[in-house]
Amino acid sequence: MPEKVTLVVFSGEMDKVLAAFNIAIGAASMGMEVSMFFTFWGLNIIKKNEGSIKNRGMMRKMLNLMNRGGSHRLPLSRFHMFGLGKWMMSKLMRDAKFPTVDELIATAKEAGVKFIACTNTMGVMGLSRDAFIPEVDGFGGVATYLAEAKEGRVNLFV
């Protein structure tokens, strides 16, 4: 049976997300079974880029306006500088032929990495399943994570 790896992706910043995907793809390349659990700001990575995100209630509408998310809208954790830092970092990465978040999502899926969205934070933020990209394999809570993590050889929180 293949060894399991789990990643809790809590952060929604591009730099941290790249690290999480690198580890996930690396582990899958080593024949390990990888699950990524997206929670809190991490949900932004797997939100659809296009269209609007449907929401109930004024406060949730405001939250989702300020926290729109989507793989194209992830800030940097440092030196974001209202987008200038991210633009510079993205250019450096493009010049170095480093994969984008979208490419990493596609590669991770191709490598068999499982994506799970956390229903708890979806509830708090008022997000429904149709807010997410079709690459998401499942929706679950902490028990779903722990059932995988207790068999995991490598469990990370990013």
Partner 1 sequence: MKADATLDCIGLYCPMPIYNTAKKLKELKPGQVLEVLADDEGIKADMPAWCRSTGNELLGIDEEKGQYKAYVRKAKKEV
The residue range among 25-33, 34-42, 55-63, 126-134 that interacts with partner 1, by the rule CB under 8 A, is 25-33
Sheet containing 152-157, strands listed edge to edge, beginning at the edge strand earlier in sequence: 138-140, 114-118, 33-38, 4-9, 152-157
Residue 29 touches partner 1, criterion: CB under 8 A? yes
Name the pairing type of β-strands 33-38 and 4-9. Answer: parallel
The per-residue b/e assignment along 122-145, b for 16 or more CB within 10 angstroms, e otherwise, is: beebbbeeebbbeebeeebbeebb
Q: Does 95 bind partner 1 (CB under 8 A)?
A: no
101 makes contact with partner 1 (CB under 8 A): no
Count of C-beta atoms within a 10 Å radius of residue 31: 8
Of 106, 111, 105, 110, nearest to 42 (Cα)?
105
Residue 31 makes contact with partner 1 by CB under 8 A: yes
CB of 95 to partner 1, least distance (A): 11
Closer residue to partner 1 in complex, CB, 129/153 = 153
Site for partner 1 in 105-144 (CB under 8 A): 107, 111
Instruction: Report the nearest approach of partner 1 to the CB of residue 104 (Å).
Output: 9
Chain residues that interact with partner 1, rule: CB under 8 A:
22-23, 25-26, 28-31, 96-99, 107, 111
